[in-house]
Structure 1
Amino acid sequence: MSSDYLHFSDWGISGGGSCCPILIAGPCSAESEDQLRQVAMRLRDTGITFFRAGAWKPRTRPGAFEGAGEDALKWLGRIREEFGYRCMVEVANAKHVGLALAHKMDAVWIGSRTTVTPFAVQEIADALSGVDIPVFVKNPIHLDLELWIGAIERLRGAGIRRIGAVLRGCGGVAPGKYRNAPCWQLAIDLKQRLPVVPCLCDPSHIAGNTEYILELSQQAINLDFQGLMLEVHPNPNQALSDAKQQLTPEQCNTIIKSLKPRSTEGGDHNYQLKLDQLRLEIDQLDVTLITTLARRMKVSREIGNLKRDNHIIVLQASRWERVLAQVIAKGKKVGLDEEFVAEIYNRIHLESIRQQQ
């Protein structure tokens, strides 16, 4: 199936740079034509691939700014004529698609709140049938690889070949210092399943704060993401949506210039030798981990038999609380992140309960 998708090098589109072949930047929401023009003018030397702006904003509660609608598309059309940018908007239904196409948008994206609804994605795919413009699909707002892949497959089924995936992080998962948990593994799994589909990162939505956008952008480049989607506003303090995560155009330029490229291969003989040694050590440690987990589950089954013979319930909550606290404390002493340890041991505990039943 993945061979049916077009690799970005065959999209016939230039832009970005060595670190970031696909660079999408622009305001979270199109608030006025002047706002768009200010951003467009100040991003002229950044080399962006697509100029983005939201025309319709799906807000959690009513009463907040929900976008300028079709007026935003008119403004974007004039921005394209004046600055030569390829322009794109978010679409959430067939009506949005029809208006975007009528105003000659060069690309569209499907947001995370829409990706979770197969009916909505299919409606969008049907509306785009026969119109092969680039379509970018953000991951579902919660952690669900199959929904993400399913949305991409629906678009491919409608004849669209230029499809990109965008990681914007997930809710419902401990986010740490960010607004949304990055969930890097979700994108890694998607890249393994659909290797031809370019994968971008939306560090603005992951971060929720401009303070973390550079570090997240560099992490994405380190993980071989093909591009970034950045929110940029001429005066973020006055933004009508997501003010804290929007960069100024100058901050955007600085971030792009600060990114350090990584090669998929290379290094001298000493590098390769050391890498092989370290990977061998990891392989050996993995064998130890698997063997230890198998032994732990064997003991769990024996405990389960003992409890069953004595008519004792499987789940001992107080015992588990003590075990979890102990391993987290031990993990901290050796430099392991608390959330990392808790996530692993919670999963081990669930499997242990299953083995005991």
Structure 2
Amino acid sequence: MGKDIIKQWGFPLDNIFLAAGPCSAESEQQVLETAHALTEKGVGFFRAGIWKPRTRPGSFEGVGLKGLAWMDRARSETGLKIGTEVAEPSHVEACLEYGLDVLWVGARTTTNPFSVQAIADALRGTDVPVFVKNPMSADTGLWVGAIERLANAGLTKLGAIHRGVSSALEMRYRNAPAWKMPIELMRLMPEVPIICDPSHICGKASLIATIAQEAMDLLFDGLMVEVHPDPPSALSDAAQQLTPAQFVSMVADLELPHEQSNSATFLNRMSELREDVDELDSNILELLGKRMDIVREMGRLKTEQNVSTLQPHRWQEIVQDRVNKGIGLDLSEDFVLQVMQSIHEEAIRQQEADRVEGAG
């Protein structure tokens, strides 16, 4: 559905929606060379950063307005549609003046509702397609809210871009993939097309193909990939940019799964397995309900004896025991820990609610 919507916006589309181009517009020659290399490669629009919000001052922060003129020329010469990131009303005004075909709101901007509202107000009365990147934190509500602010301003061509979230943990990727965020967005806003930005998730060109395939396996509507004619010389995010040839090769190797199969054998077996899953889920919920009955009784005993709701040593014992049991059942440590943390939070909530009600 999402890809069909994007096609209705006037973007060329084959099997997958693609946005590609350099992290930053650095020179007219670089912009034109990249755009020509991407012509007739199935690219929906040519992307390039004009204003770059850097973490610290003194680094390359984009070329500014002259970059829009370079992109406009690239559009004239190649026929590619063009798009860039906007972070404030003055950016919007400049892009509208040059007639950019698509805009997107960056992760740093999505984090600030005041900034998103200012952009929405600047776009009021237009109908340019606008994509919204997820915020840098794992806050789906901020992401949804940003899209809603643009919709409330009268914009109808709205999409989302998933670029992962920041994490203080050492990991393989630059940003944690955090797939549960886009999956939840798909549930909350099924009419909004969503594309993946594997470049910012990975931070390394060698990892991009893997994340791009994962996005396809999760039924994303497309990809936004950073492509540079000479990545080592790039003025921003050099490590995560592909060459045009690498980009074309990666796209050609992508496998695009279907949401359903017409095989009767497949459908019948899936129906049986889903019934089993439904029954098990029902059993799990009933067991959780019984667990909370016990938790509330424990809470009443704690209240009578003026014992704290939180029992740190007992919680430590539970975590260690359940994680070990989960690993023995081929469940990941992270998964078991998340499940137990959620159960523990609900147990604390139930006991505190009874304590407050009893005090009242």
For the 8 Å contact 2:92–2:123, the answer to whether it is kept is: yes
Tell me the residue number matched to 1:15: 12
Tell me, in whole angstroms, the C-alpha distance in 1 between the residues paired with 2:282 and 2:9: 46
Higher RCO structure (Cα 8 Å, ≥6 apart): 1
Tell me, in whole angstroms, the C-alpha distance in 1 between the residues paired with 2:170 and 2:208: 15
Tell me the residue number matched to 1:97: 92
Q: 1:173 to 1:282 in 2, by over 3 A?
A: farther
Tell me how many residue pairs correspond in the alignment: 351
Aligned-partner SS, 2:148: helix
Answer yes or no: is 1:292 the counterpart of 2:298: no
* Equivalent of residue 195 in structure 1, options 185, 190, 194: 190
Tell me the residue number matched to 2:165: 170
Answer yes or no: is 1:276 the counterpart of 2:244: no
Aligned-partner SS, 2:84: strand
What one-letter code is carried by the residue in structure 2 that aligns with 1:160?
Answer: L
Tell me the residue number matched to 1:33: 28
Q: 1:162 to 1:244 in 2, by over 3 A?
A: same
Tell me, in whole angstroms, the C-alpha distance in 2 between the residues paired with 1:211 and 1:332: 30
TM superposition score normalised by structure 2: 0.91
Tell me, in whole angstroms, the C-alpha distance in 2 between the residues paired with 1:7 and 1:263: 15
Displaced runs of 4+ in structure 1, greater than 6 A? none
For the 8 Å contact 2:75–2:82, the answer to whether it is kept is: yes
- Report 1:71-150 matches (<5 A): 71-150=66-145
Tell me, in whole angstroms, the C-alpha distance in 2 between the residues paired with 1:173 and 1:308: 38
Tell me, in whole angstroms, the C-alpha distance in 1 between the residues paired with 2:195 and 2:111: 19
- Report 1:212-231 matches (<5 A): 212-231=207-226
210-219 or 8-17: bigger deviation: 8-17
Tell me the residue number matched to 1:47: 42
For the 8 Å contact 1:52–1:89, the answer to whether it is kept is: yes
For the 8 Å contact 1:7–1:197, the answer to whether it is kept is: no
Answer yes or no: is 1:24 the counterpart of 2:19: yes
Cα distance, 1:207 vs. partner?
1.8
Cα distance, 1:235 vs. partner?
2.1
Cα distance, 1:178 vs. partner?
2.3
**Superposition RMSD on alpha carbons, in Å?**
2.1
Q: 1:149 to 1:104 in 2, by over 3 A?
A: same
**What whole-Å deviation, never above 9, does each CA across 1:268-318 have from its counterpart, x for those lacking one?**
111011111111111111012112211222222222222222222221222
| Unaligned segments of structure 2, at least 5 residues | 353-360
Cα distance, 1:230 vs. partner?
0.8
Aligned-partner SS, 2:195: strand
Aligned-partner SS, 2:83: strand
What one-letter code is carried by the residue in structure 2 that aligns with 1:230?
Answer: V
**What whole-Å deviation, never above 9, does each CA across 1:205-247 have from its counterpart, x for those lacking one?**
1222223322222222222211111111222222222222222
* Equivalent of residue 331 in structure 1, options 314, 326, 334: 326
For the 8 Å contact 2:7–2:13, the answer to whether it is kept is: no
Tell me the residue number matched to 1:56: 51
Cα distance, 1:176 vs. partner?
4.8
TM superposition score normalised by structure 1: 0.92
Tell me the residue number matched to 2:355: none
What one-letter code is carried by the residue in structure 2 that aligns with 1:250?
Answer: A
What one-letter code is carried by the residue in structure 2 that aligns with 1:199?
Answer: I
Aligned-partner SS, 1:89: strand
